[in-house]
Chains A and B, each alone.
Chain A
Amino acid sequence: MLITCPYCGPRDVIEFTYQGDGNRQRPQPASQNLDAWNAYVYDRLNPAGDHNEIWQHSGGCRAHLRVVRNTLTHEISSTAFARGDHNSVARHRAEDKP
């Protein structure tokens, strides 16, 4: 399985660490809403198909990524920096420029 890091380009999955379900909504740290905490810790969509995930390129640039992976085929349909503000800066691969 290859994941295309927005910074490093396509890399083998061995360079990445799975950081969990990207759909989770973490409650405010001070929240005492037990239902919200329960949903954050336990509720999962478990789809047979496209799944929003967080991965870290731990064996490369170490950036955290938003990845959409198909749980049936392992096809990666999109990758982006989890911290969106880097997308606006000139951080795309130099070779991709026209």
Chain B
Amino acid sequence: MVERQSPLEPVLHPGSHGDFEHGVEIILSETRPGSILQLAAWPGEEKTLMAGIHTITGLTLPDGAGGGVTNGARSVFGFAPGKFTVVDEAEGLATAFADVVTPAIGTVTDLSHGRTAIRIAGPKAEWVLAKFFAIDFALPAFPIGAGRSTMHHDVFAQIQRTAADQFDIYVFRSFARSFWKALCHASEEVGYDVQ
């Protein structure tokens, strides 16, 4: 298998940074999933597609806009009407879906090499993200597993909450390095670890 290079490599410096003498309140990391897919259902085929996602990943999508679920290794969330992002630590997810999501149901787009997955965790994760995005990050408004599509200036971002104080952000690979540096700057004042 081809070794995948990260666009963050020149700027990802493990260790503690910023004002960390009083403690580290943010942890930044790149999760480097093997598969990142976008699945889209034709109108009326949404339930069939959701059933197919369950067949392949074992994850049961909740009803409702932006609903999602994660089990650590695999994650899925809705990001638009009838459209879902599916992520797996392992490679080869697109091949697995090819037989289940037939052309009559919808489409499978493999974005594994087109997106970079950045994880921000820690007690100040909501607070730092609120500097970037004009959406409500509070837990009741943005439950665990749920996904949101939004943007930071021209950087389109899909965000999934994967724990109470943890978010996975999917950005275009070409924007990832700049976005990572912006996240680092925004985390400086509370102290952050890069892992």
Contact = CB atoms under 8 A, between A and B. Distances in A.
The judgment on whether A and B are partners is yes
A62 B65 contact: no
Judged by DSSP, the binding face of A is loop
A76 interface: no
B42 to A, nearest CB: 10
B34 interface: no
A16 to B, nearest CB: 11
Chain A CB within 10 A, most for which of B46, B67, B143, B149: B149
Given A8-B148, A59-B151, A86 B66 contact: no
Contacts of B143: 94
Judged by DSSP, the binding face of B is loop
Interface string A1-25: 0000011110110110000000000
Nearest to B154: A59
- Range, interface on chain B: 20 to 34
Interface of B: 43-44, 46, 62-67, 79-83, 134-135, 140-141, 143, 146, 148-151, 156
Given A91-B65, A93-B64, 17 more contacts: A6-B65, A8-B65, A12-B134, A15-B150, A59-B149, A60-B150, A61-B81, A63-B80, A83-B43, A90-B46, A90-B63, A91-B46, A92-B64, A92-B65, A93-B66, A95-B140, A97-B64
